Structure 1
Amino acid sequence: MTAELLILEDKLTRLTLAPELGGSIVNWTLHNSGHALLRHSDQQALQASSPRRLACYPLVPWSNRIGQGGFSSPDGWFDLPANSATDPLPIHGSAWQQPWQVIEQSASEICLQLDSHLPFAYRAQQRFRLHDGCLQMHLQVTHLDARAAWHGLGWHPYFPRTAHTRLRAAAQQFWQCDQSRLSSQLAPLPSSWNFTQAQDLPSEQIDHAFTGWDGSCQIIQEDAGYQLQCNSQGADYFILFTPSEQNFFCFEPVSHPVNAHHLPGQPGLRLLRQGQTCQLSFSLQYQALPLG
């Protein structure tokens, strides 16, 4: 069964959403050429019914992996079973594996909501707005459980990658990972991983959290004649994933590093009690590049 799709359009771009598939973005494309600004999702990807085959999905109530089978809070231990057939650790929260509901819709804006009881009770909302080639995304979570819990937020967008894709995203350090791909210690940036000035993505695979980010980045696609000027509020970290020999990469604005629940001071996480909220915003502005 094919998921029901929702569409937003402005004079430059078209956004397609699949609320039932984890509140995911299916496609974001240019009107005049149909060119994909996020990784293109075809019919086969839709029929797979997995947000990991689509263009972007939300990370709630945490980003990436958590070790030790769960985490502790002042009100006790939360068990987290593995939730992916391809990873032995719980990954990316629980919101991406549940259907979201449409609670508001207009010509330029859509708001989705999820009421979840996994791994604890929370309410998440995603708001999408499209105007003049700018995709504005807002994510908010409200803790509903009687027990306090740590929360983190993010998005997992997939971007097209060519041999000439360049990235600008200034960070200060990155988190090295252990054999389980969990953050272990901070380290200085290698020159090929320092994107303070725009540069090509490196040939080696990166799958790490970067810290000290100012929330601004540029994704420059000169081959396709455009760039995306991106800005985030509420994310002091990003995760960069550059799988080898693939036609995509991931630049994920997140509120915390991988396995922050078990790092000293729980960096970037928020301890929320019943009724308290936290939020994250991300905007992507399409800009045509001059020819030649």
Structure 2
Amino acid sequence: MSDEDITLTAGDAEATVQPGNGGRVGGLRVGGLELLRQGERFGCFPMVPWCGRIRDGRFRDGGVVHQMPLNAAPNAIHGTARDGSWKVARVAADEAVLTYDLVDPWPYPGRVTQVVRLAEDSLTLSMGVETYGSSFPAQIGWHPWFNRSLGGEDVQVAFAPAWQEERGDDHLPTGNRIEPKPGPWDDCFGMPDGVSAALTWPGRLRLEVTSPVEWVVVYDEQEAAVCVEPQTGPPDGLNTLPRLVTPLEPLEATTTWTWTRL
């Protein structure tokens, strides 16, 4: 199948999936309201095989140090799959299944599968990473850019994390866990019972972001959008909290956005 955009529909909800642009969800419209910031770099993209920044673009796997491109100098950020073209495995009216084969500069062969499923009141994103050979460390997550305004008051973000990863001047966690601080944020938070965050556009819509994963990055320092990013580990997690993908154990995650009208 081609790189052309795919439109999913369910009730008055419509999602645009862009296999040719990093496998991202390029748009999500509910009753005509576009929830995601528009533009080639925005929407909601999968972060894989790592999330957030890798310090100096380097991570260690056993005795080997691998260097990733410094696309957020002096660090590497958000994985490689968002820059690639994904293959379409299957499409239905309300579901798309995409795959992406991990290639250079990522040093390990593997495959990523992402499922985008739309319902009348929710969008569910699922992703898995499997290896073709040796085990390797990886992370997965999603980076949605939610519009700050839907034509009325600005969105309000509410969540109750157990801790905040202390952020250094380099925007990377220091390794210390601190009491959550008020925003603005470009920070990672721990939610050991699973991610749960509510975005409310007063008088318009309430959207709940949930996921069984234990970390979420919240970024609201930009005027046009806010980001609530569920992920399987903190930034620089390939070094500080590696999760191995093995031939017997793929790395899997899911997140669901559920909305109600106000």
> Which residue of structure 1 aligns with residue 190 of structure 2?
211
> Which residue of structure 2 aligns with residue 250 of structure 1?
227
Identity of aligned pairs, percent? 23
> Which residue of structure 1 aligns with residue 22 of structure 2?
22
Select which of 74, 92, 97 maps to 1:88: 74
> Which residue of structure 2 aligns with residue 76 of structure 1?
64
Q: Distance in 1 between matches of 2:214 and 2:172?
A: 18
The answer to whether the Cα contact below 8 Å between 2:55 and 2:74 also exists between their aligned partners in 1 is no
> Which residue of structure 2 aligns with residue 221 of structure 1?
201
Q: Distance in 2 between matches of 1:8 and 1:56?
A: 15
Q: What TM-score do you get using the length of structure 2 for normalisation?
A: 0.90
**Structure-2 change in CA distance of 1:69 and 1:129 (3 Å):** closer
Q: What TM-score do you get using the length of structure 1 for normalisation?
A: 0.81
The answer to whether the Cα contact below 8 Å between 2:129 and 2:245 also exists between their aligned partners in 1 is no
State the Cα RMSD in Å: 1.8
What 5-or-longer segments of structure 2 have no aligned partner? none
What 5-or-longer segments of structure 1 have no aligned partner? 193-201
How many residues align structurally? Answer: 253
Deviation at 1:75, TM superposition (A): 5.9
Q: Distance in 2 between matches of 1:7 and 1:159?
A: 19
Cα distance per residue 1:2-36 (max 9 Å; x no partner): x62110001121000110110011110023xx211
| Residue pairs, 1:9-158, within 5 angstroms | 9-31=9-31, 34-39=32-37, 41=38, 45=39, 50=40, 52=41, 54-74=42-62, 76-82=64-70, 84=71, 86-118=72-104, 119=106, 120-146=108-134, 148-158=135-145
Q: Distance in 1 between matches of 2:99 and 2:136?
A: 20
Q: Distance in 1 between matches of 2:188 and 2:225?
A: 18
The answer to whether the Cα contact below 8 Å between 1:22 and 1:57 also exists between their aligned partners in 2 is yes
Q: Give the structure with the larger strand fraction.
A: 2
Deviation at 1:275, TM superposition (A): 5.4
Q: Distance in 1 between matches of 2:189 and 2:162?
A: 7
| Residue pairs, 1:229-268, within 5 angstroms | 229-233=208-212, 235-244=213-222, 246-263=223-240, 266=241
Runs of 4+ aligned residues of structure 1 deviating over 3 Å after TM superposition are none
Deviation at 1:227, TM superposition (A): 0.5
The answer to whether the Cα contact below 8 Å between 2:163 and 2:179 also exists between their aligned partners in 1 is yes
